[in-house]
Structure 1
Amino acid sequence: MGAADAVPGVSGGTIAFMTGIYEELIYSLKQCGPSALKILFSQGLKAAWQHINGTFLLSLFTGVLVSILTISRGVLFLLAEYPVLLWSFFFGLILAAVWSLIRHIPNWNIGLVCTFVIGTVSAYFITIISPTTIESTPLIVFLSGMIAICAMILPGISGSFLLLLLGMYAPMLMAVKELQFITLGIFALGCVLGLLSFSHVLSWMFKHYKNLTLALLGGFMLGSLNKVWPWKHTLETVINRHGKEIPLVQENVFPHTFESLTQQTSYLWFSLGLMILGLALVIVLEKIGQKSN
């Protein structure tokens, strides 16, 4: 999940759903509220730890942190040096994840189909919005934390991509690099509040409208495929803090068009192979998740 969340366009929530831990994650996060504090003071630390499923959350977020510090660096390197191949792998991964999710819906009806379409169209339009630039005031930083963390636990919607759209991706990376503790603290506070509140919403949706929720999340993932299409033509660029030109606005093109426009190889057969690898990985992860459950 940490490696996925580092890439603008890929959601850690997608990985959670593929591995069969998504509903447990949402339920455990929902438990981290006033009820946990009440149990802590009345019954002690052990009871509160069990109430919030602490061992599960500790294992998960330790993995996320380790990934951000290690694996995500490799992912970001590949994104910079071999973007076509990396996006191909993620495309196959997410495409298979859509099938993995919607196959849990036993009986489709017109309402579920409409919900799936709404999710697809919504995610698609999010991916084509042009990034903006806003002043990083404390309020904006706080709201950005709330929005980004909510997206990170939604399959198909990338929190880092929403930060990019809000114009807060670069400022937050700069805050991490320069150890701007006040900015990071405000952002973290927004993340905590957003995570605790939104997890209640998702938990309620799964409890009362599980099939509709699955259809909506499946649509989100399908619509997000527009963002991870491997062959892109860059229309606008910006200069990052290292003085390097990076893409800002891109359009999807066919492999042969990509070669003619960019004068770069499309890696077509390698890309198709990586898509298939992504598809196969989802099947393996799902088998592991089912076995663990």
Structure 2
Amino acid sequence: MTAPQSPRPSEWSAADNQPKSLAATYIKGMAMGAADIVPGVSGGTIALIAGIYERLINALGSIGPSLWQVFRAEGGLRGLLAVWRQVDATFLLFLLLGIASSFTTLAGMIKHLLDHQPLLIWSFFFGLVVATVFLLLTEIKRWSIGRMLLFLVGLISAVVISSLPIMTTTPSLPYLFFAGAVAICAMILPGVSGSFILLLLGAYDAVLEAVDTMNLSILLTVIAGMATGLLLFTRALKWLLAHYYQATLALLTGFIAGSLVKVWPWKVDALGTLDSDAIYNVMPWQYPAGAQWATTIGLMLLGAVLVSLLSWWGNRHA
């Protein structure tokens, strides 16, 4: 089973916006949203495995001042439709609807599991990420010294980011704008979790609570920051994917492999006990509640099977 590669922009046709294809896009968006809620797991990883990553980057990278020229060339309603097609807006709309659905329906449940059953949810995502790394490694057609170095750069970068101390602060709205701009760049990069960046910046709890309570002032501020960061970041990534796809894939796979440090299931606090500050990795046999091999390995296998099925499905519906 290999991870599907997104089609080039010229290969996207009207068939990609048929109801069946859009339903698949919506479901993939839900999977991305569920992953983004968990600190340490990236929605970009899901997009890459599901075969929509390059299409997503190209669509986002098409948003910019040049759209005014596209609109002026036709004018009126025709111009608006031309802009809509230029940015692949139907695809983006259904993907965002899927992500939003996950955030509104799953945020509370995932937060509850992280607080009360961390070993179970981390085990599931650990298996998911391990399987993802193996799938993507098979996509590197020919390894060279340069690609191996890029893989190591991605891996080391993700490990360093995962090891940074978490900031404790009461975020203001300008700070939340900044946090959103930084986090969205991480969400787009497979292996670098946007929610973990929010956690590092001390904004994760505020954002998750705002989603639960529908605090529009916080939500709109974070969304504005995300939109700003997205427009500034995706152009560079779009160019890299267009010109150096295999090298960029090696770098992104390194990011995902490095994120395994963050999603390691067996964590304790500084005193070696279990509480909300359990962020330090230990060996399974050092875990206070026991390794729970049957449960943890079973959930890892479940995560690996699901990501393999998503990859297979992405090949059929990319």
Amino acid paired to 2:97: T
- Deviation per CA, 1:140-176: give whole Å up to 9, x if none: 3222111001101111111111111112223334555
User: For 1:25, which of 36, 51, 56 is the aligned residue?
Assistant: 56
State the 1:246 CA deviation.
Answer: 5.5
What is aligned with 2:221?
186
Residue by residue, what CA displacement relative to the aligned partner does 1:33-76 show, whole Å, maximum 9, x if unpaired?
A: 22234323442222111111111111100000111111333322
Amino acid at match of 1:27: N
Counterpart in 1 of 2:303? Answer: 278
Amino acid at match of 2:49: M
| Alpha-carbon separation, structure 1, partners of 2:207 and 2:251 | 30
Cα RMSD after superposing both structures: 2.1
How many aligned positions are there? 282
1:222 matched to which residue of 2? 257
| CA distance, structure 2, for counterparts of residue 49 and residue 236 of structure 1 | 55
The separation in 2 between residues aligned to 1:247 and 1:37, in whole angstroms, is: 49
The answer to whether structure 1 residue 7 and structure 2 residue 38 are counterparts is yes
For residues 131 and 254 of structure 2, the distance between their equivalents in structure 1, rounded to whole angstroms, comes to 13
1:84–1:267: 8 Å Cα contact kept in structure 2? no
Shift of 1:82: 1.8
- 1:205 corresponds to 2:236: no
Distance, in Å, in 1 between the alignment partners of 2:276 and 2:271 is: 6
Equivalent-residue separation in structure 2 for 1:28 and 1:35 (angstroms): 13
Alignment of 1:1-293 (within 5 A): 1-43=32-74, 44-134=79-169, 136-176=171-211, 181-235=216-270, 247-248=276-277, 250-258=279-287, 262=288, 264-293=289-318
Q: Work out the CA distance in 2 between the residues paired with 1:32 and 1:236.
A: 49
Asked whether the equivalents of residues 119 and 217 of structure 1 are also in contact (C-alpha less than 8 Å), the reply is yes
**CA distance 1:270–1:137, shift in 2 (3 Å):** closer
Q: Encode CA deviations 1:111-165: one digit per residue, 9 max, x unaligned.
A: 1111111111110111111101346345432221110011011111111111111
**Higher alpha-carbon deviation: 170-179 or 217-226:** 170-179
| Structure 1: tracts of 5 or more residues without a match | 238-244
1:107 aligned counterpart, secondary structure: coil
Letter in 2 for 1:77: H
**Match for residue 27 of structure 2?**
none
- 1:27–1:277 distance in 2 versus 1, CA, 3 Å: same
Contact 1:78 1:86 in 2 (8 A): yes
Check 1:236–1:37 CA distance in 2 against 1; reply closer, same or farther (3 A cut). farther
User: 1:180: how far off?
Assistant: 5.2
The one-letter code sitting in structure 2 at the alignment partner of 1:292 is H
Secondary structure of the residue aligned to 2:191 is coil
Q: Which moved more, 1:174-183 or 1:157-166?
A: 174-183
Evaluate the alpha carbon distance shift between residue 61 and residue 178 of structure 1 in structure 2; reply closer, same or farther with a 3 A threshold.
closer
TM-score (norm 1): 0.89
Percent pairwise identity: 44
- Please give the per-residue CA displacement for 1:158-211, whole angstroms capped at 9, x wherever unaligned: 111111111222333455566654444332222111111211111011112212
Q: Is the 8 A contact 1:236 1:247 kept in 2?
A: no
- Whole-angstrom distance in 2 between the partners of 1:21 and 1:184: 26
Which structure carries more strand by proportion? Answer: 1
| Whole-angstrom CA distance in 2 between matches of 1:236 and 1:165 | 21
With 75-84 and 201-210 compared, the bigger mean Cα shift is at 75-84
The answer (yes or no) to whether the contact 1:176–1:184 under 8 Å persists in 2 is yes
Give unmatched runs, 5+ long, in structure 2.
1-31
Specify the SS of the correspondent of 2:276.
strand
- For 2:100 and 2:225, locate their aligned partners in 1 and report how far apart those are by CA, in whole Å: 18
TM-score (norm 2): 0.82
CA separation of 1:233 and 1:107: change in aligned 2, threshold 3 A: same
Measure the CA separation in 2 of the matches of 1:30 and 1:169. Answer: 27
Q: Give CA-to-partner distance per residue, 1:199-235, whole Å, 9 cap, x none.
A: 1111011112212211111111111001111111112
- Kindly indicate whether the alpha-carbon contact (under 8 Å) linking 2:127 and 2:304 is maintained by their aligned counterparts in 1: yes
